[in-house]
Structure 1
Amino acid sequence: MLQRLKALFGKASAKPTSPALDPEAIPKHIAIIMDGNGRWAKNRGLPRMAGHHSGMKTVKRITMAADRLGVKYLTLYAFSTENWKRPKAEVEFLMKLPQEFLSIELKELIENNVQVRMMGHKGDLPDHTLKAVEEAIAQTANNDGLVLNFALNYGSRKEMIEAVRDIGQAVSEGKLSPADIDESTMEAHLLSAGIPDPDLLIRTSGELRLSNFMLWQLAYSEMWFTDVYWPEFTEEHFYEAVREYQRRGRRYGGL
């Protein structure tokens, strides 16, 4: 079954090569579940935090690769609503990474016309984490290049429940008729409002699940999985995923 699923959704080869890509068929929006930091570290006899820190460097590498290809939106699953269950020390370390990453990389992101955004539930985030992200958002707000969208403290089920509550409230207040509720209504109330659905989802580390990530938005996304851990994920792997995307026919239920 595992082999069948991997064949169905796409599987990375052991030694990726630089593909020739069609510049007219680059995915507009790529979403990535960055997985395998801890296992990468464990395999090297390192603490899990070392894996997360190394994964931060991959964020920079892949962001620049996406920008060079002409990708318009790159959404990175940085921290889920379920990740709070991890050991306190690990969570505290993860909450410091946005501040460290942006303090190092923000200048170059600005120089490359990258716009930083965040998609997630802000209320539970530590002040220092939220402040770092909001400062980056403010400083890049006028950039009109690649949108680097961090899914931080994000959970798709919670997102959809809150959207339904907001819609229900609008109905109860007489601002919206139930008959007028459609897909665009729902999308306008999601945390991803204003961002097109992902064309391509990439997940690293060999896992074959969505892990409560963009469940509504991924309805028609192409999916590509690789056994490569996130700290090892290179531009070549990224290009390979895009090449596989370009091989597929997207019919959205039609012929």
Structure 2
Amino acid sequence: MLQSLRRAAYRVYAHRLRTQLSDAGLPQHVAMVMDGNRRWARQMGFDDPKIGHRFGAEHLDEVLGWCAEVDIRHVTVFVASVDNMRKRDSDEVDNLMQMIENVVAERLSRPANHWQLHLAGRLEVLPDSTRNALKLAEEVTRERACKFHLNVAIGYDGREEIVNAVRSLLEDEARAGATLDDVGQRLNADHIAARLYTGGQPDPDLVIRTSGERRMSGFLLWQAAYSELYFCDVYWPGFRKIDFLRALRSYSARHRRFGA
């Protein structure tokens, strides 16, 4: 009985939060640092903290559903950095990669899924099976006539992304016969932005980080220059719809200054 009352109260509160949001004041693009999987598993009493990665991977499905409900059409999630791949225990990395293959890539590939996948990061640092699963999912979703776009940042480093974008620009210009002086005279921010992993998509309006950490950890360093930041104390698998709606409410109440 008590549990039923709590669920009813939760639904009422979530509905109240949603009614406080103006569709015109919602972000077009939300980026999320999905942090705290292992700490959540320990908090929940699991003997193996790596179990948190499975719950975290499965939770992404639910969060994407919340985004679709309010017509947020661009989402970027930070799954793992290059440093995560290199420095964490190999068993933990293997477990995380299996969750990416068996949960994220597999579910995105299903015909009923309406998200188009875009990959962001150095795929060469991933295990072959993970890289192949993600590339297959990207290919499967590429031709979908859909309006929802999901960027998965894995094997990602924000500084390397910018360096690679500049390198790509210089290589393109060199093939066209331009000199460095020519490039220097014409170079502007749009030229670099077009060559980032998210090229052609709007920059994130809102960046949410779970787990209580208050730093960007190299995530979308270029794209998030004018993003609103929201730090949430709950761990990613425990990130509830009301936490998501509170983040949107906070965003809609802010006056964006874009650096001014």
One-letter amino acid matched to 2:187: I
One-letter amino acid matched to 1:77: F
2:169 to 148, 167, 183: 167
Matches of 1:228 and 1:212 in 2, distance apart? 21
SS at match of 1:249: coil
Matches of 1:103 and 1:242 in 2, distance apart? 27
Q: Paired residue for 1:199?
A: 205
Q: Paired residue for 1:243?
A: 249
Q: Paired residue for 2:187?
A: 181
Matches of 1:68 and 1:238 in 2, distance apart? 12
1:208 aligns to 2:214 (yes or no)? yes
Matches of 1:192 and 1:107 in 2, distance apart? 20
Shift of 1:172: 5.0
Q: Paired residue for 2:30?
A: 30
Q: Paired residue for 1:141?
A: 142
Matches of 2:221 and 2:96 in 1, distance apart? 24
Give 1 or 2 for the bigger CA radius of gyration.
Answer: 2
Report Cα offsets for 1:26-66 as digits up to 9, x if no partner.
21100000001111112233222111111112101101110
Report Cα offsets for 1:141-189 as digits up to 9, x if no partner.
1222211111111110111122222334445553352111100011122
One-letter amino acid matched to 1:23: D
Matches of 1:111 and 1:224 in 2, distance apart? 31
Contact 1:102–1:136 (8 Å) recurs in 2: no
Q: Paired residue for 1:226?
A: 232
Contact 1:58–1:234 (8 Å) recurs in 2: no
Deviates more, 1:200-209 or 1:15-24: 15-24
SS at match of 1:201: strand
Deviates more, 1:169-178 or 1:244-253: 169-178
Matches of 2:174 and 2:147 in 1, distance apart? 40
Matches of 2:82 and 2:217 in 1, distance apart? 10
One-letter amino acid matched to 1:136: A
Contact 2:105–2:134 (8 Å) recurs in 1: no
Report Cα offsets for 1:178-214 as digits up to 9, x if no partner.
1111000111221221221100000000000000100
1:41 aligns to 2:47 (yes or no)? no
Shift of 1:104: 5.0
SS at match of 1:30: strand
Shift of 1:112: 4.3
Q: Paired residue for 2:84?
A: 83
Aligned residues: 239
One-letter amino acid matched to 1:137: E
- Root-mean-square deviation (CA, aligned residues, Å) is 2.0
Shift of 1:243: 1.1
Matches of 2:61 and 2:215 in 1, distance apart? 25
Task: Tell me which of the two structures has the higher relative contact order, counting C-alpha pairs closer than 8 angstroms and 6 or more residues apart.
Answer: 1
Matches of 1:71 and 1:182 in 2, distance apart? 29
Identity of aligned residues (%): 35
Stretches of structure 1 that go unaligned for 5 or more consecutive residues are 1-14
Q: Paired residue for 2:56?
A: 55
Contact 1:102–1:132 (8 Å) recurs in 2: no
TM-score by length of 1: 0.87
